[in-house]
Structure formats: structure tokens, C-alpha cells
A and B are shown apart, each in its own frame.
Chain A
């Protein structure tokens, strides 16, 4: 079950190494260039770390207090308790919950930034932002129980933002308002019964930090319960608000065709890459890049094609869904984009930015521009993005990129030609409208067995997995078995690059799913957005469960994170499990040091919540288990297998 890719890599010849690390055709080409240019990448650093510390891999080392660090000997010859007496069970559970807290905090803090600007619209200081989707705003208000009749848009907006702001730190024990508004009744009752209904986002994260302090909560079950509570706060409020307010301010995504992979970089244009997560910045960059004066400046410096904005990682997903901005790649390609030698600037906000970007960029003319006070990288240029003067700020940043075009060294430019077309932008609203305004056609396809089930596939890349290989293998096998796949994040970018988001990919689906896709003109795998947009899947599944009159845990639905690396994925996986889903993990989380924690996550959780984790690094075996789960749920619903 352990990944052993590094052992193969250590013994590989150079050429084999280039081929082994990814299934993306652009990767070996740029790794060869990296070597010529004397540049180190994530894969080189991954090898230099091998073999990785066994204590860390198993999760049984503790650094939570200064009597430590303490380690539990997994073979049982050395210490079985930390200095305070903590067992491997306590230590592993505490570590995992801290990771989850970090993930929930990251999503929710991202939401906070968006809500702050939304407040700026209401109060009038965020002049360069506006309410783009009034319908969505009214829908959110109604769901929250806010009276909208006879009120102006701004008035409604003010009442909505007041609720949103309170989600982070409201006092008292009432459930989170967004969770209360959007989660199905059966789930809410269950969470209440188990005592894991979240009260306020910051509070649940803080409580994890408190409980995992030395000498507080030592019981793995109770620690994990609190983790699930924070995860629910993330999924059903933090991430959900990030999605909803982005939709209100920038528009709810609709199907749109885009290009993906490094071939979207252009030799004849200033290439600017937006990287990170938050659309507040990237949307403005994409907008001001069309400014005639800046385009003229680019032309005057010899960039005939003007300014070419491309995305990377989830902020890339945000702008590609809404503006059709091409996407250069997913997580493991961030350095390669610079190695093309054709990138004038990488403009970043936060999350998933490798600090190594600066080292790689130092070998080229590329400027790394950080924009958020909370995410600075030594060696980068820092230009704070002022949201009160968003356009001016964005122009200043883009101008710097444009002026840098004159430093591009033509002889050192190599842009791989590979790029792929994709149909993206399937928000819940877009899916509903494709279905003709009601979920019934989907419910019907599920009941009849034309579509056997739904899989939500999400998450990152991780050098422990050959890049994109598990994403593609799992998705292809699921659709071939008539399972509709939806998803977000770097999975979605992988699908774009490998052609699975083309409507023609329906040919790869089983006969039932193929028929449905062809009738609707959609691909067999649907791009639902960035990682905070996993909340779109919650909304869709909640609606489906209410439509069918069953609990979310009764649906023939699975989740999977085939190549996950980040703490945010720990939170996402956990809110899906707490929402009743079977969640497959394709890289091994640091929990095997505690059989008890493993038992809770992979078995105990199912008895309580109907959802559980399943760890399997082999994509084929993983799909087998997912299909088995779907069959079992169908049997229970009395639907044909």
C-alpha cells in the first residue's frame, strides 16, 4: 500500500526519470530544459528527501510541547508513550486534527477576505467590485431566512454580509447559519445527536488548537469528533461562503470552453501567470490585462500579441470558469511554467505556492510578485494588493510584468506545444439548467441505472504519485462503469489537460452515461470549480438527497482524492465523511502509527455517520472498492445494480 515511486526514481536513468514523474507530455520536455539550465524542481527535491522519516510518515512523533519532541517506536522496542504519557493513539489523533485545523482555517480565511470586500461593496469603499449576480444574492438571502421583498439589493446585501461576518466568531451554541440553511434535515439531526454541530468557524479551529495542547484532550475519538466539527464548519460555511460570495461578486460559472496546459503560453505575448486561490486578485489582473494602455505598452516593447494572462492551481480555476482564461497547469507544474523562459511574472495570493518559485525564477527573467501581507516569500517582489483601489493596484502589478518583457531572453524560451480544449464551469446552477431546471432527469437516470452513481473527485498533485496518473486512471475507469464524475481543484485541471472535459470524451463512458452525456451535450466528467467549490458538491448532494427523500449517506455516491497532498484536503475529506460519504484517499495519511485512529477513520466513522475513509494507492483497486460501495447503496435503495 505504501508508495514506492521514489525507489524507482532513484534507480532510473535521467530519461526514465523524466518520463516516470508524470504522464503529462510537457513535463519531460521541461525537465530536460531544467537540467540544461541547471535548475532544480520539486521532483529533485523529493528525491533528495528520500527515504522520509518513518516517525513522520506514521504520524507518531509529537512536538506539541517542549518536554518533547517525543516519538513512539512503531516496532514496540522503544518508548510506547511520550514524556507526558501520551500514547501513539493520542499523538496521531492530535497531529491529524492540527492538520485538519490548518486546512479548515485556510479555506475559511480565504472566505473572510472575500466577505471583507463584499462588505466594502455594501459600505462603498470597494469601488472596483460589484454585485454581478443579484439572483444568487437573493437566493442566499432567502435560504438564510432574510426577508427580501420590497428591499433594495444593497439592503439585502447588508443583511446577508452581517450574517456571513458572524459565522466566524458568533457567540453562543446555535449552529452555523449557512450550515443550518443548506444542510439536509436528517444530517443536522445526526450531527446534533453526536454533538458535532459547529457553532462558529474560528471557534472550532481554536478549540482544536486548545484540545491538542499538552494535557487537554487525550482521547482519539473525542479529538476526531472535534475535527469533524471543524471540518463541517469549513464545508458547510467557510468554503461555502467563499464560493457563494465569489459567485455573487464575479458571476456564477456557466459552461465555457477553455484551453489548458503549458502550450497556452505565447511566444509573441507578455505572459502573466496568476497563481494561488483567491479570485479577488486574479479576476482584476485578468480584467486590467485588457486595458488598452497596458496592451499598447506591451506592443511597443515588441510583444505583438499583447498580454496573455494564464492561470495556475485554484485561482486559475476561478478565472477560467468565469472569464475563460486559459490554465497553464496544476500544482506540480508551477515551476515548469517558469522554466519555459517565457513567463514575465507570476502573481500570487496564497496557498500551494512553492517557496522554490523564487529560486527557479532567479535563473530566468521571471518576477515573482507576492500581493498578500499574509503570504510573503523571501526573494519575491512584494506589492500589496489594495482592495480599496483594486484596479489601480492590479494595473501597477501588470505594468511591472509588461515592462519585464524586454528582459526575456529569446534563445532561452521553450514553450511545449501541447494544449487541450475543455468544457468547464459546471456550477450547480449550470448543471440544473442543463437538466432543464430540475434534478428529476438525473434522479431518473440514477434510479434506472443508466447512471450507476456519482463520484466527486478532488484534490492536488503529490510527487509521491506519478503526476495526473491516478486522477486519469480513476476517472476513466469510473466513467467506463457509468459513474458520473464531478470534481474540483487540481483534479479538474488534470482532466482539462488530458481531454476528459471534452464532450467527445463521452465516447469513453459506459453506454448509460454516454447516452445521458450525449443527450445533454456535456462531458462525462464535470468541472465544478476550485477547492473551496467542493461546497458546490455538498449543495448538489444535499439537493439530490432531499429530491429523493433519502439521507446523503444513502446515495450511491463516493468521494476520492487520488493525489492529495495538502492539509486543506484533510478538511475536505473529513467534511465529506461527516456528510455521509465514502471517501477514498490515494496517498497514505500520517495515521498508521495508531491502529485505533485508523479504526475510527475507516470503520467506526461509518457506524456513526454513514461515511468513512478508505486508503488505497492503487487506482484500480480503489475504483473496485468505490464501485462496490455504489452497488451496495443501490441494492439498499432497491435500484437495479
Chain B
């Protein structure tokens, strides 16, 4: 049994996101049948990205599935289409999905979306790539490190060190380690 901190996670760091949407393009290509950009763009059905970069209060936020545990979508899904894999990822099985959209209502992050065929499509954590030891496509494509992939323990440890460094060098926002102020307006409040 994988312990929570040994889990593989994608660490999302909006402060590093430049909004280039390379993650979206890479995700769509990964979920195409040819898996190659130059041919994927003319496939039918058109491959759809599972992740999207949203602008919230001036900050780019790459919004992707959190693979929550326990996952509200899995609980809400009436047909058992939404399930957790042995690797710990939340995926949906198009054969069992009836397109009721209950999972979308249940998802706190508005993640699942629908294909032209009325089935839910969502981030599968690039499970095929994971099995062959590769990072998810969006992570590989991100040029800035806004998306990082690895064991939770290591990524969080790395992040802790980075923030500690910011604190002691006085380069960061002194003392504000856990909350990143989104805009001056919010700070004012």
C-alpha cells in the first residue's frame, strides 16, 4: 500500500505559470490516437485537452484534476464509470459512462468535461505514460516548472527548501509562506 507521502503527485505552482498553454496542447496530443502534434491536429474526433489554464484575479492557474482521495466524483457516479486505478488515479471508463454529468456537479474544481459523444472525459494522469516510467505530458511540456511531477515527499521538501531560502535571503515576501497574496486588492482587504 502506498503511503500518502510516497504518492506520485503533480505539484501545481501558479506563481511560475506563464500561460503559454503548452500543457493543454501536450495533453490533447497525448490523448489523440497518433500521439503526434502534426497529425493530431487533423484527427476526427479532435483530441481534447484535459487540463486548462484559467486566469483568476490576474494569476494564471493551470487547472487539472486533483485525483482527490476520497474523490467526490467517484462517490457521485451512479454507474461506477468513475473509479480509482491501482496506481491511485481517478479515471472514467467511457464504456460505462452514461453522460449524466453528476461527476461535474460533484467535482469541487469543475474538472470533468464532455466529449462530442456525450461521454465524460477527464485527466487520467497520463496513466499509460506513468506505467512506462514517463512524467505526464503536461508536466513534460511545461517550460517553467509550474507543473512538476514526483513523489509528494520530495516535491514538498523541495518547495519547503525553496521557501526557506526565500525567507532567509529576504528575497521573498517576508513571513508569508503559506498564503500567496493574489493581488493588492486582496492584500488590502
User: A75 near B41 (CB under 8 angstroms)?
Assistant: yes
User: B39 near A54 (CB under 8 angstroms)?
Assistant: no
Given A71-B21, A75-B48, A75-B49, verify A58-B141 contact (CB < 8 Å): no
User: B36 near A75 (CB under 8 angstroms)?
Assistant: no
Given A51-B140, A53-B143, verify A4-B20 contact (CB < 8 Å): no
The yes or no answer to B55 lying at the interface (CB within 8 A) is no
The yes or no answer to A592 lying at the interface (CB within 8 A) is yes
The yes or no answer to B25 lying at the interface (CB within 8 A) is yes
What separation, in Å, do the CA atoms of A2 and B41 have in the docked complex?
Answer: 12
User: B26 near A54 (CB under 8 angstroms)?
Assistant: yes
What separation, in Å, do the CA atoms of A422 and B48 have in the docked complex?
Answer: 53
What separation, in Å, do the CA atoms of A55 and B141 have in the docked complex?
Answer: 12
Q: Which residues does chain A contribute within 8 Å of B24, judged by CB atoms?
A: 78
Given A51-B26, A74-B25, verify A57-B37 contact (CB < 8 Å): yes
* Chain A residues numbered 49-89 whose CB sits less than 8 Å from any CB in chain B: 50-51, 53-55, 57-58, 71, 73-78
User: A58 near B37 (CB under 8 angstroms)?
Assistant: yes
The yes or no answer to B46 lying at the interface (CB within 8 A) is yes
Q: Which residues does chain A contribute within 8 Å of B21, judged by CB atoms?
A: 55, 71, 73, 78
User: Measured between C-beta atoms, what is the minimum distance from B130 to chain A in Å?
Assistant: 15
What separation, in Å, do the CA atoms of A325 and B39 have in the docked complex?
Answer: 45
Contact of B41 among A53, A588, A592 (CB under 8 A): A592
Q: Which residues does chain A contribute within 8 Å of B46, judged by CB atoms?
A: 75-77
Instruction: Give the one of A4, A75, A588, A593 with max B CB within 10 A.
Output: A75
The yes or no answer to B61 lying at the interface (CB within 8 A) is no
User: B25 near A588 (CB under 8 angstroms)?
Assistant: no
**CB 8 Å contact bits of A34-58 with B (1 = contact, 0 = none):** 0000000000000000110111011
Contact of A54 among B25, B48, B140 (CB under 8 A): B25
User: B22 near A53 (CB under 8 angstroms)?
Assistant: yes
User: A4 near B36 (CB under 8 angstroms)?
Assistant: yes
The yes or no answer to A1 lying at the interface (CB within 8 A) is yes
User: Measured between C-beta atoms, what is the minimum distance from A294 to chain B in Å?
Assistant: 48
User: A588 near B140 (CB under 8 angstroms)?
Assistant: no
The yes or no answer to B28 lying at the interface (CB within 8 A) is yes
User: Measured between C-beta atoms, what is the minimum distance from B132 to chain A in Å?
Assistant: 9
**CB 8 Å contact bits of B97-135 with A (1 = contact, 0 = none):** 000000000000000000000000000000000000000
The majority secondary structure among interface residues of chain A is loop
Q: Which residues does chain A contribute within 8 Å of B41, judged by CB atoms?
A: 58, 74-75, 592-593
User: Measured between C-beta atoms, what is the minimum distance from A295 to chain B in Å?
Assistant: 50
The yes or no answer to B147 lying at the interface (CB within 8 A) is no
The yes or no answer to B178 lying at the interface (CB within 8 A) is no
Q: In this complex, what residue of B is CB-closest to A595?
A: B42
* Chain A residues numbered 574-595 whose CB sits less than 8 Å from any CB in chain B: 588, 592-593, 595
What separation, in Å, do the CA atoms of A57 and B41 have in the docked complex?
Answer: 12
Q: Which residues does chain B contribute within 8 Å of A74, judged by CB atoms?
A: 25, 37, 41
User: B38 near A592 (CB under 8 angstroms)?
Assistant: yes
**CB 8 Å contact bits of B14-28 with A (1 = contact, 0 = none):** 000000111011101
Q: Which residues does chain A contribute within 8 Å of B140, judged by CB atoms?
A: 50-51
Q: Which residues does chain B contribute within 8 Å of A592, judged by CB atoms?
A: 38, 41
User: A51 near B49 (CB under 8 angstroms)?
Assistant: no
Q: Which residues does chain B contribute within 8 Å of A55, judged by CB atoms?
A: 20-22, 25
User: B141 near A51 (CB under 8 angstroms)?
Assistant: yes
Q: Which residues does chain B contribute within 8 Å of A595, judged by CB atoms?
A: 42
Contact of B36 among A2, A53, A58 (CB under 8 A): A2
User: B28 near A75 (CB under 8 angstroms)?
Assistant: yes
The yes or no answer to B62 lying at the interface (CB within 8 A) is no
User: Measured between C-beta atoms, what is the minimum distance from A354 to chain B in Å?
Assistant: 20
User: Measured between C-beta atoms, what is the minimum distance from B62 to chain A in Å?
Assistant: 14
Instruction: Give the one of A4, A57, A78, A588 with max B CB within 10 A.
Output: A78
Q: Which residues does chain A contribute within 8 Å of B146, judged by CB atoms?
A: none
User: B141 near A1 (CB under 8 angstroms)?
Assistant: no
What separation, in Å, do the CA atoms of A458 and B67 have in the docked complex?
Answer: 51
User: Measured between C-beta atoms, what is the minimum distance from A303 to chain B in Å?
Assistant: 46
Q: In this complex, what residue of B is CB-closest to A588?
A: B38
The yes or no answer to B136 lying at the interface (CB within 8 A) is no
Q: In this complex, what residue of A is CB-closest to B137?
A: A51
User: B47 near A54 (CB under 8 angstroms)?
Assistant: no
Q: In this complex, what residue of A is CB-closest to B141?
A: A51
Contact of B22 among A1, A54, A588 (CB under 8 A): A54
User: Measured between C-beta atoms, what is the minimum distance from B126 to chain A in Å?
Assistant: 13
Q: In this complex, what residue of B is CB-closest to A74?
A: B41
What separation, in Å, do the CA atoms of A54 and B141 have in the docked complex?
Answer: 9
**CB 8 Å contact bits of A373-408 with B (1 = contact, 0 = none):** 000000000000000000000000000000000000
User: Measured between C-beta atoms, what is the minimum distance from A465 to chain B in Å?
Assistant: 15
What separation, in Å, do the CA atoms of A362 and B19 have in the docked complex?
Answer: 36
What separation, in Å, do the CA atoms of A295 and B125 have in the docked complex?
Answer: 66
* Chain B residues numbered 72-115 whose CB sits less than 8 Å from any CB in chain A: none
Q: In this complex, what residue of A is CB-closest to B39?
A: A1
A-B contact pairs, 19 of them (CB 8 A): A1-B38, A2-B36, A2-B39, A51-B26, A51-B140, A51-B141, A53-B25, A55-B25, A57-B37, A58-B37, A71-B21, A73-B21, A74-B41, A75-B28, A75-B41, A77-B46, A78-B21, A78-B24, A595-B42
Interface residues, chain A, CB within 8 Å of chain B? 1-2, 4, 50-51, 53-55, 57-58, 71, 73-78, 588, 592-593, 595
For the complex of A and B, 7 pairs with smallest distance between CB atoms: A54-B25, A74-B41, A2-B38, A2-B36, A75-B28, A75-B46, A51-B141
Interface residues, chain B, CB within 8 Å of chain A? 20-22, 24-26, 28-29, 36-42, 46-49, 140-141, 143
